[in-house]
Amino acid sequence: MRIADLYSRRSEQNTHGRAVISFEFFPPKTDAGFRALFHTIEDLKQLDPGFVSVTMGAGGSTRGKTVDLVIRIQRELGITTMAHLPCVGFRRDDIRDILRQLEAGGVDNVLALGGDPPKDAVNFERPADGFTYASELTEFIRSESELSIGGACYPEVHPRASSAEEDLRNLVTKVEAGANFLITQLFFDNAKYFGFVDRARAAGIDLPIVPGIMPIATAAGVRRMLDLGGGELPPELDAELAEVASDDEATRQLGVRWATMQCRELLEHGVPGIHFYTLNKSPSTREIFENLSER
């Protein structure tokens, strides 16, 4: 199933109103981790996701695992899947191979990403025939396949962009290159998302812009992710996190409460979907759904 069609065919039959719910996972390092992840996905399947996605480490570190996982989830669990695909470290032929493997495995969707150069790389250079920007990768995928293509976007501006205006111009280029839908970097202040959607619409982008929501698991983890991908904690959440920092369960509960509040407002505004950064765990996401169904 093409994800672009899921967003355009949102119907009353969907158990989450008109929103397409999706879950993001990363490939575990060990076999035991794989088995545990399958249980997590089976558990979350009961929440009727429109699709699930699997990240791919920049530089291709998880290439085989990501491709195997999306194909297996789709075949064995019957859920539509999407493989993440970063530019970093891949040659054109590598990308072509991956696209062929996905197509042969029945996967219809790919998230075309820039990726980040490896942390320890001093003068990182892309392979001679590789891609630098997600828009170039998107154009290539579009020319090579019929896959439905997602792209990333940043309500609080990508950290390497020189300005919000430049970031938005680059996003327009990515859309023109053939992206079918956009998923946001995680954010904790819905006003930032709503403002970004307004700016994107004014710039002529009319694709679904799907909010990415992460239930906070640990204070250190969320700060690290915001450092890498950009964005800030609202002062109120920052203060509450500091108060519970030494208590893992209290931190998790705060994460569930905050994400529930965000989701409730986003759904009321008729967002096309919600993409959950699950961190490969199901309890927090499950609790958010239970909270939402209580309203």
Catalytic residues: 24
What are the CA-CA distances from residue 64 to residues 54, 85, 101 (Å)? 12, 12, 10
Radius of gyration of the chain (CA): 18
260 scored as a contact of ligand FAD (CB under 6 A): no
**Among residue numbers 47 through 66, which ones bind ligand FAD (CB under 6 A)?**
55-56, 58
Q: What span, in angstroms and rounded, lies between the C-alpha atoms of 156 and 164? A: 8
Under a CB-based contact definition with an 8 Å cutoff, are residues 23 and 130 in contact? no
Orientation angle between helical segments 164-177 and 190-202, nearest 10 degrees: 60
Under a CB-based contact definition with an 8 Å cutoff, are residues 275 and 109 in contact? no
Under a CB-based contact definition with an 8 Å cutoff, are residues 43 and 79 in contact? no
251 scored as a contact of ligand FAD (CB under 6 A): no
SS3 category, 276 = strand
Q: Report, in Å, the least distance between residue 12 CB and ligand FAD.
A: 27
Contacting ligand FAD (CB under 6 A), which of 74, 109, 185, 251?
Answer: 185
CB-wise, 79 or 152, nearer to ligand FAD?
A: 152
Q: Which amino acid is at 100?
A: R
Structure-token pair, residue 49: 């996701």
Contacting ligand FAD (CB under 6 A), which of 167, 209, 231, 254?
Answer: 167
161 scored as a contact of ligand FAD (CB under 6 A): yes
Of all residues in the shown chain, the one whose CB is closest to ligand FAD is: 114
Q: What span, in angstroms and rounded, lies between the C-alpha atoms of 189 and 260? A: 12
Question: Going residue by residue from 208 to 237, which x/- string records binding to ligand FAD, judged by CB under 6 A?
Answer: ----x----------------x--------
CB-wise, 43 or 116, nearer to ligand FAD?
A: 116
Q: Report, in Å, the least distance between residue 108 CB and ligand FAD.
A: 18
Contacts of 180 (CB under 8 A, 6+ apart): 2, 3, 4, 148, 149, 150, 207
Contacting ligand FAD (CB under 6 A), which of 160, 201, 224, 269?
Answer: 160
Structure-token pair, residue 214: 């992460």
115 scored as a contact of ligand FAD (CB under 6 A): yes
Under a CB-based contact definition with an 8 Å cutoff, are residues 59 and 121 in contact? no
CB-wise, 89 or 255, nearer to ligand FAD?
A: 89
Under a CB-based contact definition with an 8 Å cutoff, are residues 278 and 25 in contact? yes
Number of residues that bind ligand FAD (CB under 6 A): 26
Q: Report, in Å, the least distance between residue 295 CB and ligand FAD.
A: 27
86 scored as a contact of ligand FAD (CB under 6 A): yes
| Binding residues vs ligand FAD (CB under 6 A) | 55-56, 58, 84, 86, 111, 113-116, 133-135, 152, 158, 160-161, 166-167, 170, 173-174, 183, 185, 212, 229
